[in-house]
Each structure stands twice: as C-alpha cells, then as structure tokens.
Chains A and B, each alone.
Chain A
Amino acid sequence: MGDRFVTRGFVGRRGAGSGSDAPSRLPPGQYLTTDFPVLSAGPTPRTPLEGWSLSVEGLVREPVSWSWDAFRSLPARDWTVDISCVTKWTKLDMRWRGVSVDTLFEAVDIDPTAAFVIAWSDGGYTTNLALGDVLNGQAFVAFEYDGRPLAPEHGGPARLVVPGRYFWKSAKWLRGLRIQREDERGFWESLGYHERGDQWREERYSGD
C-alpha cells in the first residue's frame, strides 16, 4: 500500500508551538516533545560508582577498562543534539556532557577488519551499531544531561548517545563497547527492530 491513503477528516496540528526551523529537523513519522520520556524494558539497574567500569574490548590489541574516576578524567565536551525515539517522539537541542567515542577508541588499537560495535549495559541490554556510525564525532558516552548528573532512569551513571540513530541505539547504563568483525543483533534488534535504525530513513522495524 502506498502513502497516499487520506484519513477522512484529518487535518493535523502541524507541530504547533515549536520553533520555525523545527519541521525540517523532524524525521518522518515523528512528533516534537518538550518532555524527556523514559522507556526501558525492565527495572533500572543501580550500580555503585565504586563497582562501575567502562571497557573497550573485542577486536583490539589490548582491551582497556576505565574506572569511574579514570573515565571522568578523560577529555569531555558539551553536545547539543536532537534525539528521536522509535516510539515517535523527537526532542530538539538536548544538552549533554560526555566523552566522544573517538576519545575512547584512541586508547586501543582496533583491528582493521573490525566493522561493528556491540554496546552492552548493566541489566543485560545490548545494541549493535556499524563501527562507521559511531566514529568521527557521531557518538559519545554521556554522564550529564542539562547540567546535572545523568539520572538512573535516563541511563546514569553513563549512557551511549548516538544522535543519528533511533534512541534505542543509545544504550543506557553503558558498561562496554565490544568491537567485532561480524554484526550481531542486540536486544531490540532480535525482537523485530531495525538493524541500523536511521530515523531519517524511518528504519523502525526489521524490513523497513
């Protein structure tokens, strides 16, 4: 079925109340929100910072693991990005502070045959990304949102943020990035969600 079916009587509100450039920043099928909705599949994990670490492992010469203090001493910067969730909301100009994935990868020697990265989290969550989708400033590990430490329900103490993909790719409660040669479906990708999840191509579900 094409896109041309017209719903009887529907006119729509056309993002009333949003900024003038907002429509062009809204991916297809999304609506603007000013809230910060929470979506997770299970209870919020609460790992004490003393027991927390972040690792880069897999197809690297020497895996690296940072304690919380070591992670926080890495160079960080502010990021202002638009975020789109597959459940249809888009929030503009979200302000984060975090460490670029590029910075993390500078600490390891990645095998030239590597092509994918699996982000894994406390609580067992995983998501897969093409290596090329997280390099060159496209992804960061955030520890602050809107000037405050990242709240647990939003993925604190630290979460991956990949603004160019639907938000399920931005793994909450991040604990590691595993570099691989082969792709491997993560949690939602195994349950029918799209492998890549590019919101501008509206890649919501497998086969989109």
Chain B
Amino acid sequence: MAGSIDWRLATIAAIRDETPSVRTFTLIVPDWPGHRAGQHLDLRLTAQDGYSVERSYSIATGPERGGAVDITVERIPDGEVSPFLHDVVVPGDRIEVRGPIGGYFVWEATFVEPLFLVAGGSGIVPLMAMLRHRKAAESGRPARLLASWREPEDIIYRAELDALGTLDDGLAVIHTLTRVQPPDWTGYRRRIDGAMLDEVLEPLGRDARSYICGPTNLVETVADALVRLGLPPDRIRTERFGPTGT
C-alpha cells in the first residue's frame, strides 16, 4: 500500500438512535479515499491540553456512499470515547478520523461464492456494510445473515434488516433471541450452536464465504463449528472484540 493514511477533519452530519444504547453517527469526511465493505476507521479525540485518545470503529456504510460514512457505536458505560460520542457530540461538531483500515475482513460484490454472515450484537456493523454493498451492487447471489441478540430491543438496524430480508433478492435474515422473545416469536431462542449453523447454512452449501463478527466467545464457537461442518478455513474470516474470560 502506497502513501500514508492521513488524519482528516470530518463533520458530524447526523446522529440517530438504533437501540437504547446504540447510535449511528454520519461523518462527512473530506477527500475520503473510499473503502471496501468490512473495513474500519480510526477516530481521535483531543483535549485542550493536548491529551488525546484513539479508537477504531467499523464502517457501517457500503462503498457506494463514498465519504458520507456511518459508524455505529455502542455506549459502554465505563468507556472513555463512546460516552463522549453519545452524550456530548452534536451534529455540526468536527472529529478527526483516518482510514480506511484493514483489508482482510472485506467483502466485494464481485466475489462469486454464497455469502454467510454471522453477527453477535454490535458485530453486525461491518456485516451491514456488506449487506448494503450487496444491495447497491444488485448482487443477487445467495446470502444469509444469522444474528444473535439478547432481546428484541437490542436489534440494530431492525427496520432496514426486515426490509432487506423481504426483497426476494437471495438474502435471508435470521435472528436468534437468546434471553427475551416476543410472545409470537417463532425464530431461534438460544445461543448460536453447531446445529443452528448447520440448518442456517444448509441452503448456501459448503462453498460459502463466511464473515463472523462479535464477542470472542461467539466468534470462537462459530468459527470452530464452521470448520467442523466442512467449510474451508481460508474462507472463514473473523473479527472479534472483548476478552476471552479465561
């Protein structure tokens, strides 16, 4: 890769609530070099005395949106950056960002294999960029999203996912609700396991290209199960957050 990845001064154009603890921020980034679905950006906050912090956030928008880039941020109560973004930042504020970062956890509509996405909670964000890219590119190839949430109100991008899942363009959206289900819920109601993956993956076959993003325990479970189900390890791409608890 040539050249350096420069810091750019982005403007917050819009803020919207996704769930009680998750918000999407639309950043207008001047001279954004473009990104691929699944990449992230670095964000830097600097105080008056020069103290600064950086964090990485997945990009939620597809490449078609160009330099109007969405990041979707969960508010971590004891965090340093996410409470600032949630509680202090308003449209019109400016924030330093640089990117795009990362070139492995990416999907392009030109990839021919069926697409299998597995999300745990806010791990949905880079996968949403892939689904938005897929729709914009009118890919039409078979794709399935399996997303795990504790309860219905945790579902990020719910209306858009519902709409994407009913387009009849080859995409199926499947949720599992692990703790609280609505009375009329007919879907999965347990943590993702091998049997669930086997069922959900079935229509895509073993040639599928998989992207898994979520907490470490979920990613470990899913990646191990997919290897056991016979998917080639080099087509299973993972992005994780959080500790192992061991």
Most chain-B Cβ atoms within 10 A of its Cβ — which of A5, A31, A151?
A5
Number of interface residues of A (CB under 8 A): 43
Question: Which residues of chain B come closer than 8 Å to A105, judged between CB atoms?
Answer: none
CA distance A192 to B33 in the complex (A): 14
- Report if A3 contacts B (CB, 8 A): yes
Question: Which residues of chain A come closer than 8 Å to B223, judged between CB atoms?
Answer: 42-44
Question: Which residues of chain B come closer than 8 Å to A42, judged between CB atoms?
Answer: 223, 233-234, 236-238
Would you list which residues of chain A between 127 and 184 have a CB under 8 Å from chain B?
151, 153-154
CA distance A36 to B51 in the complex (A): 25
Instruction: Determine the residue in chain B with the shortest Cβ distance to A13.
Output: B80
Q: Mark B223-246, 1 if CB is under 8 A from A, else 0.
A: 110110000011011111111101
Would you list which residues of chain A between 13 and 54 have a CB under 8 Å from chain B?
13-14, 29-31, 35-45
**Cross-interface CB contact of B244 among A9, A38, A123, cutoff 8 Å:** A38
Question: Which residues of chain A come closer than 8 Å to B6, judged between CB atoms?
Answer: 1
CA distance A192 to B101 in the complex (A): 8
Question: Which residues of chain B come closer than 8 Å to A153, judged between CB atoms?
Answer: 216, 220, 244
How many B residues touch the partner, as a band? Answer: 35 or more
CB distance from B19 to the nearest CB of A (A): 23
**Cross-interface CB contact of A5 among B9, B84, B224, cutoff 8 Å:** B9
Q: B47–A7 contact, CB under 8 A?
A: yes
- Report if B185 contacts A (CB, 8 A): no
Q: A43–B233 contact, CB under 8 A?
A: yes
Q: Is the interface of B mostly helix, strand, loop or mixed?
A: mixed
CB distance from B137 to the nearest CB of A (A): 22
Q: B54–A43 contact, CB under 8 A?
A: no
Would you list which residues of chain B between 197 and 240 have a CB under 8 Å from chain A?
216, 220, 223-224, 226-227, 233-234, 236-240
- Report if B64 contacts A (CB, 8 A): no
Q: Is the interface of A mostly helix, strand, loop or mixed?
A: loop
Instruction: Determine the residue in chain B with the shortest Cβ distance to A14.
Output: B51
CB distance from A41 to the nearest CB of B (A): 5
Q: B4–A207 contact, CB under 8 A?
A: yes
Question: Which residues of chain A come closer than 8 Å to B45, judged between CB atoms?
Answer: 7, 10, 12
Most chain-B Cβ atoms within 10 A of its Cβ — which of A124, A153, A187?
A153
CB distance from A159 to the nearest CB of B (A): 14
Question: Which residues of chain A come closer than 8 Å to B227, judged between CB atoms?
Answer: 43
- Report if A61 contacts B (CB, 8 A): no
Instruction: Determine the residue in chain A with the shortest Cβ distance to B241.
Output: A37
Q: B240–A40 contact, CB under 8 A?
A: yes
**Cross-interface CB contact of A6 among B47, B103, B239, cutoff 8 Å:** B47
- Report if A208 contacts B (CB, 8 A): yes
- Report if B167 contacts A (CB, 8 A): no
Question: Which residues of chain B come closer than 8 Å to A43, judged between CB atoms?
Answer: 223-224, 226-227, 233, 236, 238
Q: A5–B46 contact, CB under 8 A?
A: yes
- Report if A11 contacts B (CB, 8 A): yes
- Report if A80 contacts B (CB, 8 A): no
- Report if B112 contacts A (CB, 8 A): no
Instruction: Determine the residue in chain A with the shortest Cβ distance to B79.
Output: A13
- Report if B7 contacts A (CB, 8 A): yes
- Report if B111 contacts A (CB, 8 A): no
Instruction: Determine the residue in chain A with the shortest Cβ distance to B89.
Output: A9
CB distance from A121 to the nearest CB of B (A): 13
CA distance A35 to B124 in the complex (A): 22
- In the complex, 17 of the A-B residue pairs with CB atoms within 8 angstroms, ordered by the A residue number, are A3-B46, A7-B46, A31-B80, A35-B243, A37-B240, A40-B238, A41-B238, A42-B237, A43-B226, A88-B54, A123-B233, A153-B216, A154-B244, A191-B1, A191-B102, A191-B104, A207-B1
> Hey, which bits of chain A sit against chain B, CB under 8 A?
1, 3-14, 29-31, 35-45, 87-88, 123-124, 151, 153-154, 187-188, 191-192, 204-208
Q: A153-B220, A192-B101 are in contact. List 18 more A-B contacts (CB 8 A).
A: A1-B8, A5-B96, A7-B93, A8-B94, A10-B84, A12-B53, A12-B80, A29-B52, A37-B241, A38-B243, A38-B244, A39-B239, A41-B105, A42-B233, A42-B236, A204-B42, A205-B4, A207-B1
> Hey, which bits of chain B sit against chain A, CB under 8 A?
1-9, 42, 44-48, 50-56, 80, 84, 88-89, 93-96, 101-105, 216, 220, 223-224, 226-227, 233-234, 236-244, 246
